[in-house]
Structure 1
């Protein structure tokens, strides 16, 4: 039975502080000035060194957390039961599993500026080294394919962002299922489960049918996701100081073409506002009714 010294466990900082600590250390331990006369290769190496150092520090910090915290199966039952009462054993294992997943689900961002297949041999070698290290820690039964370990995305164009989210969720789900399968409760529930496998009644193919209403809803949702923000319009029309946002485009009018109409303030030497009446429509209806009575 392993003897743990709980007092020597390193304090785990909050997520934001954790990132600040790593970036601060990277800033102190790596060069910080790029001179104007540097060649492009030297500048690239400058930033790749920072990325590599940051990745290594994140990995070491997360590994330290995983290694220092005790395994519930290895400590004395008294401490195991006490920890379960204080923190819940399942949540404790799940938290360590999430940290183990975080140090492995490698993402290459900013592919809109530099696609992965356009990297130089040296840079690609660094990426492949990180990938090989991550594949060594894939849990048993996990997906060792490239899509599950090395992902690419662009936060600017949203390309690959959903794939990264899906991969992280799948890895987390697999880990949760694995933890549940190793627990003692699963043995008490297995005899209650029955998995029914339907048998085909004929040779006729029955493909999946998606209702038209669902397809239309998906199209509307996709259109909303691709809606341009005011910031995008500003960048497309000259940037800050040049682009002027229209305050009329959200007006609710019968015809959208009326939104940009210019309303004159002075007409024939008179103030137009003097002739505007908020009840003009009701007064017009009264005049029409009066005219109708006169005609009768």
Structure 2
């Protein structure tokens, strides 16, 4: 039976007990708790081996109650804990073996996706304004590999190669991907589900580069200053300006959409 976030039985799940269901019926059951889930998402999770519905002789998927519960668990782990699919698969395998699993506390989107917060929890500057853990005033970042990036974005190699060909994302010199790359990959993947292709996003990339150029003009003199505290202030100023630029961009898009819809 599909469970709610609080663990209780959800309305409308008795249909899951009546027998094998089509993928459309499963989608209707899941959307009460997961309104953004799509058929493509369910198929992707199947392709990753996280759920294995039966197939009719003609090839149609037939989901049982256990499949629906498994999908719910996967979606809940993604939504509430921001776990990559690789970790989720390990959790499910452990449950299948009858083992107990220990989950981290619920994560906030800002904790997982904020590109201006360091991945490993170190701050960009100490309380006295000095340099961060790496001595430069910039946060240290933890890189992820290509497979981890693909799992986080729920994408395949072909999609990633296309994103890289359009300059939307790229590895660092050591071949790994930083927190910003993970965030971009997730967003680009989500936009793709609405039909927006990488070629459509070149204008967004160009706009971001122009905004970054404006921020750099403001902080460049501070970066060149001989005083270490002033250089550290340049980093915090850059982050603040970047945050304001993102907020302004979002507000302008909302305003432009509002003008077109009225």
TM-score by length of 2: 0.25
TM-score by length of 1: 0.23
